[in-house]
Amino acid sequence: MKLDRYIDTFLDFIYPRNIYCILCNESIEKTEKYSLCQSCKEKINFIADRICEKCGKPLDDFYLSKECPDCIKTKHYFTKGFSCVEYNEHMKELVHKLKYKNHRYIAYHMAEMMISQLKKHDLNDIDYIVPVPLYKKKERKRGFNQSELLSKYIGKVMNWKVEKNNLIKIKDTKSQNQLNKDERKNNLENAFFVQAKEDFVDKNILLVDDVYTTGSTIDACSKEIRKAKPKEIYSISFATGKNINF
């Protein structure tokens, strides 16, 4: 028991007892899951039961098909995708804080949510976690790649290797935000490249990204990785939209 107390004191030293909610910055107990206060937890729609069998988007109860309308229409290059939360204004703010305000600790808590989603699903052993890469110039400007941060935490907990140098982005593409689905796809045409294809042969790959919208980024990466003849390509993103209104 004595040792427990020492450890507790030691942990308090590293992570002070009063920490802050990652969304509203209110002081919270350190035992709060994902470092979110109760009221912020209620603002989040965690993706639970009914999901699209292909891309992992949540499906409405009254919707009968096993795949979302988007996946019925579009052929995807990945095997199966998963997401943790529905993208709403609060999640937009959270991702924004991480990407543009340099609040890197948020990635740790996002990764925690991604890990609990991954554990719920029976994935084959993953050989490589591959973060969706940024164009080098963009990464230098931001100072980090958020998908790489997420990948690092996931890799550490799941004991999967992170391969961040093989898939690279070779085209400085326009921001996807203002583009429609077809424009997004064209924008990413030949944007990614696998340098050492032999390393991905017969491997199970898990692509990691922060937000999944139409799936065009994950698809463009998967299309390129497919050329290396991997076994399966899975994807996990932190947030995703409910339907195709993007």
Q: Does 168 bind Zn ion (CB under 5 A)?
A: no
Residues of this chain, 23-42, that bind Zn ion according to CB under 5 A: 23-24, 37, 40
Q: With respect to Zn ion, which residue has the nearer C-beta, 22 or 228?
A: 22
Which of 241, 192, 199, 194 is closest to 218 using CA atoms?
192
- Contacting residue, 54, 99, 109, 152, with Zn ion by CB under 5 A: 54
Q: Does 52 bind Zn ion (CB under 5 A)?
A: yes
Q: Which stretch binds Zn ion (CB under 5 A): 21-29, 113-121, 183-191, 227-235?
A: 21-29
Q: Does 71 bind Zn ion (CB under 5 A)?
A: yes
Which of 237, 214, 218, 216 is closest to 69 using CA atoms?
214
- Helix axes of 89-100 and 146-158: crossing angle, nearest 10 degrees: 100
Q: With respect to Zn ion, which residue has the nearer C-beta, 16 or 190?
A: 16
> Both ends of the chain: CA-CA distance in Å?
54
Q: Which stretch binds Zn ion (CB under 5 A): 49-57, 126-134, 183-191, 200-208?
A: 49-57
Q: With respect to Zn ion, which residue has the nearer C-beta, 83 or 173?
A: 83
DSSP state of 33: G
Q: Is residue 208 within 8 Å of 133, Cβ to Cβ?
A: no
Tokens of 158: 């799941």
- Contacting residue, 44, 68, 84, 205, with Zn ion by CB under 5 A: 68
Q: Residue 27 is inside which H or E element, if any?
A: strand 27-29
Q: Does 22 bind Zn ion (CB under 5 A)?
A: no
DSSP H helical segments within 56-198, as ranges? 69-73, 89-100, 105-120, 136-142, 146-158, 181-187
CB of 246 to Zn ion, least distance (A): 13
Q: With respect to Zn ion, which residue has the nearer C-beta, 52 or 95?
A: 52
By the criterion CB under 5 A, which residues form the site for Zn ion? Answer: 21, 23-24, 37, 40, 52, 54-55, 57, 68, 71
